[in-house]
Structure 1
């Protein structure tokens, strides 16, 4: 172990339940705090610095919540599937815990995406809901998240439950490219891609900085939430171990 690369050694240590507990306890509050601050700055810019859209007026400002939530709904599902694959191949318990911790967070981001999309769609399309390809595929993604959560909690043995739910996550990952390219493959009310990581965006440059801050903030918040949820699951699984009793005794 002493001859290992420091990064590899750190990953090995992170797989230890007590070490992960200390790591998560230390860094999850930072994720929450930094995420909240960055999102607050992004929302300030979105509400008070960005001019109204020439077509949609002020109603377009909901995109500063809708777009980051939509991107996170896909990112979190992909990460959940990756953790699940690692857990199934190498039987790493921490990856099972992290995969299952992703599910409620991703479901929340997906719900926010659908809710803000409906609110935005009412003045733009004249209806709260339309069975548009992007909306419909995003709804399927929410059902997949709920399926993973339900399956995980339906089986008493935590490791068996995580593996079963992880298989569902791996099957469901096929939805990600469908959601991503739905506005290209089918006729859709949903607007096409206006923001590109590579290449020119069709969005006015003055509107982009607050969106970037919101994207960064949601990722920091997600990191804090993931560590906090994974820590809680880790403690529950390790209940009865001496190191957990010491933590419980310290908190009394």
Structure 2
């Protein structure tokens, strides 16, 4: 296990591994996404209260769930970077930020679209929505902080610290609907206790969540590969790779 951990610090090994994973994971991700979202949008029954407007749940919830998980990925990579000084952890942290920011934006946008027919307004300063907005700012902050430093080692340390500090916001997002009065509905999927969503609606939602996780992984690996090539562009293995592809 320790040997495998050290292998992740090797740019050529990680580049080859990520390429192998992407070759089979990307088509599976796209197929699962089409099946889950298509199933939810086209074939599930209307909700007895919200009608067809609830169908945006098949994009909104997966984007929100994976945006939160993506922040943990970024923070864990930041912690590894601080403790073990592993450059590939810096790469993972930097690569996760734009993907997480995009997912958070999608979650906020689809939440606004869903909120208009449900609440009668596009936006309220609800605890869940506000804490998700803070999550977007944290992702953007990591991206901006990385670009603000000419010294990338210093940039990585600053981003890692911000990522770790920002993890405080994640449990706030999860528990906001329980801790404060909120217009946002409680979680429909529960790991402890009975879920409040009908199985005919639940199964395509679970498939969509899995697809979003897989797609996040694909985007993360693609970003990491691009970052590795940028960092290692003067090394012999990258130059050999470039010559082989011409």
TM range (shorter): over 0.9
**Which stretch shows the higher mean deviation, 61-70 or 191-200?**
191-200
Give, in whole Å, the separation in 2 of the partners of 1:136 and 1:47. 27
Give, in whole Å, the separation in 2 of the partners of 1:134 and 1:206. 26
3-state DSSP of counterpart to 1:53: coil
Indicate which of 190, 198, 211 corresponds to 1:217.
Answer: 211
Structure 2: gaps spanning 5 or more residues:
none
Matched, 1:97 2:91: yes
Matched, 1:126 2:123: no
The Cα shift of 1:13 comes to: 2.2
Counterpart in the other structure of 1:3: none
Counterpart in the other structure of 1:154: 148
TM-score normalised to the size of structure 2? 0.96
Give, in whole Å, the separation in 2 of the partners of 1:29 and 1:122. 40
3-state DSSP of counterpart to 2:182: coil
Counterpart in the other structure of 1:19: 13
Give, in whole Å, the separation in 2 of the partners of 1:11 and 1:55. 50
Q: Which whole-Å deviations, capped at 9, do the CAs of 1:148-179 have from their partners, x for residues lacking one?
A: 00001111222221221111111111000111
**Which stretch shows the higher mean deviation, 36-45 or 118-127?**
36-45
8 Å CA contact 1:68, 1:215 repeated in 2: yes
Counterpart in the other structure of 1:142: 136
TM-score normalised to the size of structure 1? 0.94
The Cα shift of 1:211 comes to: 0.5
Structure 1 residue ranges (4+ consecutive) displaced by more than 4 angstroms after TM superposition: none
Give, in whole Å, the separation in 2 of the partners of 1:232 and 1:47. 34
**Which stretch shows the higher mean deviation, 43-52 or 132-141?**
43-52
Counterpart in the other structure of 1:116: 110
Give, in whole Å, the separation in 2 of the partners of 1:64 and 1:197. 19
The Cα shift of 1:94 comes to: 1.1
3-state DSSP of counterpart to 2:94: helix
Counterpart in the other structure of 1:65: 59
Give, in whole Å, the separation in 2 of the partners of 1:192 and 1:24. 37
Matched, 1:236 2:234: no
Indicate which of 69, 78, 90 corresponds to 1:84.
Answer: 78
8 Å CA contact 1:39, 1:217 repeated in 2: yes
Give, in whole Å, the separation in 2 of the partners of 1:193 and 1:209. 15
Give, in whole Å, the separation in 1 of the partners of 2:181 and 2:7. 50
